[in-house]
Amino acid sequence: MRLDKEARSGLILASPATVYVLALIAALIALTVAYSLWTQDFVEVNCELTFANYKEIFADPLYGVLILRSVKIANLVTFFILLLAYPLAYYIAFNVKRKALWLFLVTIPFWTSYLLRVFSWKVILAQNGVVNTALLGLGVIDARLTRCFIPKGR
């Protein structure tokens, strides 16, 4: 397959950024693997390679429960996101005249800091948060909820 001049120049321009991103991803994966093979004594990290962390994952059944729960939650969230995102994307792609404005409005929430969102949810869902206060005020509950979404015995 022979590329025309414009396609070749586009590939040449994109190559340095692609190589840079791939190198960063490879470095982060290598660092994650290295950390998984090290042990930690409270604050101090022991850099000797060991499979003790992996042995602990398979030895303690709690890790299996947590991994399974995480996968279930991830699948559930993915399902609902797809359920919401595809109709919106279809609508924007085929029915909207000002696509740039809609895409701008859809991406605005991603501009906020992750930490800001976490603290916002904490204010909303905390024991003295908005949800508990509203439920108490409406008479739905008699006492503040303390352990929402955490199964008993965990």
Angle at 72 between CA 68 and CA 78, to 5 degrees: 145
Query: How far is residue 145's CA from residue 125's CA, in Å, rounded to a whole number?
Result: 10
Residue 4 or residue 71, greater confidence = 71
pLDDT digits (tens, 9 = 90+) for 66-114: 999 999 999 999 999 999 999 989 998 999 899 999 888 888 888 777 7
Residue 125 or residue 24, greater confidence = 24
pLDDT digits (tens, 9 = 90+) for 16-69: 999 999 999 999 999 999 999 998 887 888 888 899 889 999 999 999 999 999
* Counted domains in the chain: 3
Do 74 and 102 lie in a common domain?
A: yes
Do 125 and 145 lie in a common domain?
A: yes
Query: How far is residue 124's CA from residue 131's CA, in Å, rounded to a whole number?
Result: 6
pLDDT at 152 over 70: no
Do 106 and 64 lie in a common domain?
A: yes
**Residue 106, domain extent:** 60-111
Do 40 and 85 lie in a common domain?
A: no
